[in-house]
């Protein structure tokens, strides 16, 4: 590792917030040496509780995150906040500026807030987000809160990064709740009806309860999948043969609670924190947390492989005359995209085959 990066890593591990900010900037900009830096972070991670906050725009996510961070600080815990903003079409940077809406914790050095650009990534989570979480974890933050842009059903990507996902639903969201049924039910570990003092809050809570109840009865998208260890059949029985298996599955499953909050007043925040803690306990006690971590690392490996292979293929395309020249050849009927793809992949496949052969020879 570069000596400057080594010094930066040591400063981060020593608890210097300036070093944490510089490391995250290096990660987000994909600056030279960032991969070696992130690789060193892994040995110091695994202690933080990562919480995802998502929901439709206007649900009050930033205000609730502010009060959540303040409440954690009152309990003596340190907090890191990553606010995923839409990308600026001109600079690629974050444009919303969530710090403006997080007034309660301004000046508290133990609440580190960082806005990051979604950079057009499906789901609103940039590929740098997981690495930024690693940096905050290695730094020693007790709680890491990821607030997403709330782009609807594409927000399922947050499941890959957060341990617990809270979905905010504003009052009077009948149509929104109908939309939620198609996908958000599967990612919500806790539902939050924010702005609960507004008209329609009671109805929204009732509709959510009905949705959760239907989800529990509808099979793998209910008590199985994201929420439970054992998937249930559509008739309420388990996929196994014995009735006792069904009872065991019920005990091992998680039913998303519904919390009412008024974030501007801090009302309901303590109850929200209790439910987040309950879900954390469930993850650990059921063994689900270990499985989630394995899945997370598997997805990170796939993502890195996709990025690296894409870069290799871009180089091969450049050596072949560039994508525009190849496309022109297709337009003129000289070749076709499938033939080009085969030709470009050929040297990569040959390299992989040679590596596999060398590995087999070394193992013999």
Confidence check: pLDDT of 34 > 80: yes
For the record, the structure tokens of 169 come out as: 């639903």
pLDDT of residue 218: 62
CB distance 248 to 228 below 8 Å: no
Spatial separation of the C-alpha atoms in residues 167 and 227, rounded to whole Å = 14
Among residues 44, 10, 40, 38, the alpha carbon closest in space to that of 128 is found at: 38
Query: Is residue 242 domain-shared with residue 343, that is, in the same domain?
Result: no
> Residue 155: what pLDDT?
60
Q: Global pTM?
A: 0.79
Band (173; pLDDT cuts 50, 70, 90): low
Task: Select from 286, 314, 349 the last residue of a domain.
Answer: 286
175 lies in the same domain as 310: no
Q: Please report, for the domain that includes residue 108, its CATH number.
A: 3.40.50.300
Residues 320 and 278 in one domain: no
257 within a domain of the structure (yes/no): yes
Q: How far separated are the first and last CA of the chain, in Å rounded?
A: 33
Q: In which region does residue 256 sit, left (phi positive, over 0), alpha (psi from -120 to 50) or beta (all else)? A: beta
Q: How far apart are CA 186 and CA 195, in angstroms?
A: 23
How confident is the model at residue 96, as a pLDDT? 44
The answer as to whether 292 is a domain residue is no
Range of the domain at 128: 44-286
Residue 204: its pLDDT value, please?
86
144 and 212 share one domain: yes
Residue 110: which pLDDT band, with cuts at 50, 70 and 90?
confident
Work out the average pLDDT over 42-55: 93
**Distance, CA of 170 to CA of 184 (rounded, Å):** 14
> Rounded CA gap, 209 and 218, in Å?
14
Quick one: average pLDDT of 147-157? 62
Residues 98 and 197 in one domain: yes
pLDDT at residue 337 in the model: 94
Both 318 and 272 in one domain: the answer is no
Answer with the residue of higher pLDDT: 315 or 69. 69
**Residues 6 or more apart in contact with residue 324 via CB below 8 angstroms:** none
Q: Is residue 38 part of a domain?
A: no
Task: Enter the tokens of residue 305.
Answer: 């492989």
* 120 or 47, higher pLDDT: 47
Three-state SS letters, the chain: CCHHHHHHHHHHHCCCHHHHHHHHHHHHCCCCCHHHHHHHHHHHCCCCEEEEEEECCCCCHHHHHHHHHHHHHHCCCCEEEEEEECECCCCCCECCCHHHHCCCCCCCCCEEEEEEECCCCCCCCCCCHHHHHHHHHHHCCCEEEEECCCCHHHHHHHHHCCCEEEEEECCCCHHHHHHHCCCHHHCCCEEEECCCCCCCHHHHHHHHHHHHHHHHHCCCCCCCCCCCCCCECCCCCECCCCHHHHHHHHHHCCCCCEEECECCCCECHHHHHHHHHHHHHHHHHHCHHHHHHHHHHHHHHHHHHHHHHHHHHHHHHHHCCCHHHHHHHHHCCCCCHHHHHHHHHHHHHHHHHHHHHHHHHHHC
pLDDT at 221: 40
- Could you tell me if residue 15 is inside a domain? no
Pairing of strands 190-193, 79-85: unpaired
pLDDT at 287 over 60: yes
Lowest pLDDT segment from 163-177, 263-277, 290-304, 341-355: 163-177
Residue pLDDT, tens place only, 61-79:
889 999 999 999 999 999 9
One domain, residues 220 and 138: yes
Mean pLDDT of the chain: 79
More confident residue, 211 or 332: 332
Select, from the ranges 61-75, 152-166, 204-218, 223-237, the one with the highest average predicted confidence (pLDDT): 61-75
pLDDT tens-digit readout, 79-90:
999 988 654 433
Q: What is the mean pLDDT of residues 212-234?
A: 51
Domain final residue pick, 259, 286, 313: 286
Output the pLDDT for position 220: 45
Ranking 69-83, 150-164, 218-232, 259-273 by mean pLDDT, the lowest is: 218-232
Number of domain units in the chain: 2
pLDDT in the model for residue 94: 41
Q: Over 60: is that where the pLDDT of 166 sits?
A: yes
pLDDT at 49: 96
Q: Is residue 19 part of a domain?
A: no
Check residue 100 and give its pLDDT: 44
Q: Which residues of 208-225 are buried (b: 16+ CB within 10 A; e: fewer)?
A: beebbeebbeebbbbbbe
Report strand pairing: 79-85 vs 143-147: parallel
pLDDT of 235: 37
Residues 60, 201, single domain; the answer is yes
- Residue 321 to residue 168: CA distance in whole angstroms: 50
Is the pLDDT at 24 greater than 90? The verdict is yes
Per-residue pLDDT band at 118 (split at 50, 70, 90): low
Which has the minimum average pLDDT: 7-21, 153-167, 322-336? 153-167
Residue scoring higher pLDDT (53 or 150): 53
Identify whether the C-beta of residue 214 lies closer than 8 Å to the C-beta of residue 199: no
Domain assignment of residue 26, yes or no: no
């Amino acid at each position: 590792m570069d000596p400057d990066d080594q010094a930066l890593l040591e400063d981060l591990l020593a608890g210097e917030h300036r070093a944490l900010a510089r490391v995250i900037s290096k990660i987000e900009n994909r600056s030279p040496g960032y991969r070696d830096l992130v690789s060193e972070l892994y040995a110091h991670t695994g202690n933080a509780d990562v919480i995802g906050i998502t929901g439709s725009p206007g649900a009050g996510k930033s205000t609730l995150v502010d009060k959540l961070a303040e409440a954690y600080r009152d309990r003596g815990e340190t907090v890191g906040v990553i606010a995923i903003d839409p990308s600026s079409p001109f600079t690629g940077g974050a444009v919303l500026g969530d710090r403006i809406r997080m007034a309660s914790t301004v000046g508290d050095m133990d609440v580190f807030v960082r806005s990051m650009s979604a950079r057009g990534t499906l789901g609103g989570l940039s590929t740098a987000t997981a690495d930024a979480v690693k940096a905050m974890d290695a730094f020693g933050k007790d709680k890491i809160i990821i607030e997403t842009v709330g782009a609807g059903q594409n927000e399922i990507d947050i499941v890959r990064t957060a341990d617990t996902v809270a979905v905010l639903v504003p009052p009077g969201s009948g149509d929104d709740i109908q939309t939620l049924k198609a996908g958000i039910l599967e990612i919500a570990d806790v539902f939050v009806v924010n702005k609960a003092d507004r008209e329609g809050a009671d109805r929204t809570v009732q509709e959510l309860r009905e949705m959760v109840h239907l989800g529990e009865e509808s099979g793998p998208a209910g008590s199985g999948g994201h929420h439970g260890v054992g998937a249930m059949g559509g008739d309420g029985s388990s996929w196994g043969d014995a009735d006792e298996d069904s009872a065991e599955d019920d005990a091992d499953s998680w039913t998303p609670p519904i919390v009412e909050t008024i974030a501007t007043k801090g009302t309901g925040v303590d109850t929200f924190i209790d439910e987040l803690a309950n879900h954390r306990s469930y993850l650990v006690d059921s063994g689900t947390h270990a499985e989630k971590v394995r899945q997370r690392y598997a997805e990170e490996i796939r993502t890195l492989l996709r990025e690296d292979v894409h870069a290799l293929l871009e180089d091969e395309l450049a050596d072949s005359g560039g994508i525009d020249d190849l496309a022109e050849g297709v337009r003129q009927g000289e070749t076709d995209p499938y033939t080009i793809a085969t030709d470009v992949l050929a040297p990569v496949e040959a390299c992989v085959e040679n590596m596999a052969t060398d590995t087999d020879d070394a193992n013999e």
